[in-house]
Structure 1
């Protein structure tokens, strides 16, 4: 049975949007190993290491290969990684003519690391795209409620007044800054092709040229050229994802507080109920966002622990990365999906915000601060989304027409 997501039916689907999860699934990961093999054969041919007939036979075998996720998973137990059985099956298909073009000069870590890089870049791109929708909602809230007074709270106590627009703008800023870090980390993900001990000896004197051609074909960074035991690229991505999850958790936590019965300033469009208390209107989406995001630091810590990659190949540390980083992408994506669900259509109780004010003093530079944040959020200025507001409605009209949410 092929499962199209990354973990389990409940964990993925309960998070809402599964677009990211489908890009980092076992099927996608193992399929990317096959993609690596085909690109490597082409790079070796382009650099003159393979003849035309050797290349053709190898590519034909790869194109005809039918990946069986369950079978490869079972066969992986013997060698502790999936690249070994995949390469073995491809070589059998390629025959004597094409065998030189399969796994050419590579080691299993080359195939697995590059495959992981490919799925991470695709999953992260989808995650950033989804987060931009959430940021647009926050930008709209910032503008619509720029003048709406709200109590500022410091150390759990009421402080000087501000505006709800500035609260939303601050949420936007932390989310935007975190997304930029994830984008930077993703852009720096490199190809992996070094051979058994990272010397490219098996394809000398073509090795470096093949490496750089492979990076070009796959549109990946070419440096560091060999990072078998330099795990900075993955640790950097893991850290940035944990920061993004933390940003999501900060916003979700604020929403939960402002939705509390005795505060009553916010209410999700479709709040969650209770199995035993029919009066409840829980900020369920924000709570779920917090739950998913709360797992991110532990997963990122596993990636930092895995930087202890001994000698020329990690013993267990490398193996711990494969599921951990994919899971980190997945929980961050689920947290972001639930945050979007929480904010999309959220009710703003302006009357409650006014009643909760303990001081009616000036709100200072709130307007200027909001505008500065909006100006700096460059990711919102994406021309291809200008005509698509499907994700920023229906909250706009409802928010404009009502000073407070409807209490049922």
Structure 2
């Protein structure tokens, strides 16, 4: 990633998405495939042990694999070639069984799923932090009056706690949707050259089941080489999350303008400063989230556009899809990590919120001021906020409870 992309994500995510981590995931697939085939009596146990011993990323020149992938058309091709060279040197009797009955898309898709699972764990952890912060702010400020704005103009009085509950709601929903989509999308890929596992001698289903179990992935029961619906659905849910985070960031940035002064992101040395104006407190967390909200829709659109993958293996769309995932995951984690860091320390200036209401009231006829801008209107909004917080906490708790379908399986 470029210097301009890196600071919009996180070091943790960039490490997960790094070339070495992806190659290591591909090697995990190859080792697990050999074990799965040995369990199905397709290859000797000793051959599986030998292949597994050679599937160590330190034995591979990762930059060289990346360079060679351009000419080969797939990073799996130089990887399997190098793996066979290592096996031939160290475990020559196991050589005929390397990558047996599999194909390049099997190893790449499965490795992408493994890496995505790690990436989702980072996103989910920070999403929970953001939700917790908002569900703490909402009751704390349930009855704090603040101007509600529609079409960018003062509309009436609400409560800041009601606003926080409104911010939290789509994040809680996103949490549940991402978990549900991931439960379907994080599945092993194993179909062989054309999806039939013809070289597995009738043991294809058993091998795929063993492989899924070894990698901790779902066995979808069939190949999904060109059936990308469940996989792309996960990307769509990530895009929705980024959009919801962007909405929160836009509100915080507007409420933090000097002329408004109702909110401020937390400060620390080196955060939010200006290269020219020492008085500035730039809302950098909101900036990262808003930048992600600008970038993620294009990534999601590219995933959707790549879905017409012809026949049994795609020429072009699959490769285009693969290239979009790292950017989408990086943007999603950059956004949620930024707000998860800012929301717990959000500076709420309740006095300024009240002053902005009073200033507007002074400029209006008494009847309009009392009807629309009475600070007491925050009381009813606050009661709604408290009820919504309780409902959201229950929903968040339910997000990760196994469904009846899951328990039946």
TM-score by length of 2: 0.86
Equivalence for 2:388: 372
Query: Which of 5, 8, 20 pairs up with 1:11?
Result: 5
8 Å CA contact 2:9, 2:331 repeated in 1: no
Does 1:362 pair with 2:377?
A: yes
Gaps of 5+ in 1: 1-6, 383-408
Does the residue aligned with 2:260 lie in a helix, a strand or coil?
Answer: coil
Query: Which of 235, 242, 245 pairs up with 2:232?
Result: 235
Does 1:265 pair with 2:281?
A: no
Equivalence for 1:176: 172
CA 1:97–1:64: 2 relative to 1, 3 Å: farther
Equivalence for 1:86: 79
Please report how far the alpha carbon of residue 179 of structure 1 lies from its aligned counterpart in structure 2 after TM superposition.
2.2
For 1:8-407, what aligned pairs fall within 5 Å after superposition? 8-12=2-6, 14-15=7-8, 17-63=10-56, 66-95=59-88, 96-188=92-184, 189-223=186-220, 225-270=222-267, 272-357=272-357, 358=361, 359-360=373-374, 361-363=376-378, 364-378=380-394
Equivalence for 1:394: none
Please report how far the alpha carbon of residue 381 of structure 1 lies from its aligned counterpart in structure 2 after TM superposition.
5.5
Structure-2 separation of matches of 1:292 and 1:85: 34
Structure-2 separation of matches of 1:78 and 1:17: 31
Please report how far the alpha carbon of residue 104 of structure 1 lies from its aligned counterpart in structure 2 after TM superposition.
1.8
Please report how far the alpha carbon of residue 300 of structure 1 lies from its aligned counterpart in structure 2 after TM superposition.
0.8
Over aligned residue pairs, what C-alpha RMSD do you find? 2.0
Q: Indicate the larger mover: 180-189 or 247-256.
A: 180-189
Q: Indicate the larger mover: 361-370 or 226-235.
A: 361-370
Gaps of 5+ in 2: 362-372, 399-409
Structure-1 separation of matches of 2:395 and 2:75: 38
Please report how far the alpha carbon of residue 255 of structure 1 lies from its aligned counterpart in structure 2 after TM superposition.
0.3
8 Å CA contact 1:136, 1:380 repeated in 2: no
Please report how far the alpha carbon of residue 64 of structure 1 lies from its aligned counterpart in structure 2 after TM superposition.
8.0
Please report how far the alpha carbon of residue 9 of structure 1 lies from its aligned counterpart in structure 2 after TM superposition.
4.9
Structure-2 separation of matches of 1:26 and 1:378: 40
Please report how far the alpha carbon of residue 216 of structure 1 lies from its aligned counterpart in structure 2 after TM superposition.
1.3
CA 1:351–1:118: 2 relative to 1, 3 Å: same
Does the residue aligned with 1:115 lie in a helix, a strand or coil?
Answer: helix
Does the residue aligned with 1:241 lie in a helix, a strand or coil?
Answer: helix
8 Å CA contact 1:173, 1:377 repeated in 2: no
Cα distance per residue 1:354-406 (max 9 Å; x no partner)? 12225115332532343333442358659xxxxxxxxxxxxxxxxxxxxxxxx
Runs (4+) off by over 4 Å? 378-382
Please report how far the alpha carbon of residue 10 of structure 1 lies from its aligned counterpart in structure 2 after TM superposition.
4.9
Equivalence for 2:402: none
Q: Indicate the larger mover: 122-131 or 339-348.
A: 339-348
Higher relative contact order, structure no. (Cα contacts within 8 Å, ≥ 6 residues apart): 2
Structure-1 separation of matches of 2:292 and 2:201: 47
8 Å CA contact 1:151, 1:158 repeated in 2: yes
Please report how far the alpha carbon of residue 196 of structure 1 lies from its aligned counterpart in structure 2 after TM superposition.
0.3
Please report how far the alpha carbon of residue 234 of structure 1 lies from its aligned counterpart in structure 2 after TM superposition.
2.3
Bigger helix fraction: 2
Q: Indicate the larger mover: 268-277 or 184-193.
A: 268-277
8 Å CA contact 1:132, 1:379 repeated in 2: no
Structure-2 separation of matches of 1:355 and 1:141: 20
Please report how far the alpha carbon of residue 222 of structure 1 lies from its aligned counterpart in structure 2 after TM superposition.
1.1
Cα distance per residue 1:36-67 (max 9 Å; x no partner)? 00000000001111112222222232248612
Q: Indicate the larger mover: 283-292 or 254-263.
A: 283-292
Please report how far the alpha carbon of residue 286 of structure 1 lies from its aligned counterpart in structure 2 after TM superposition.
0.9
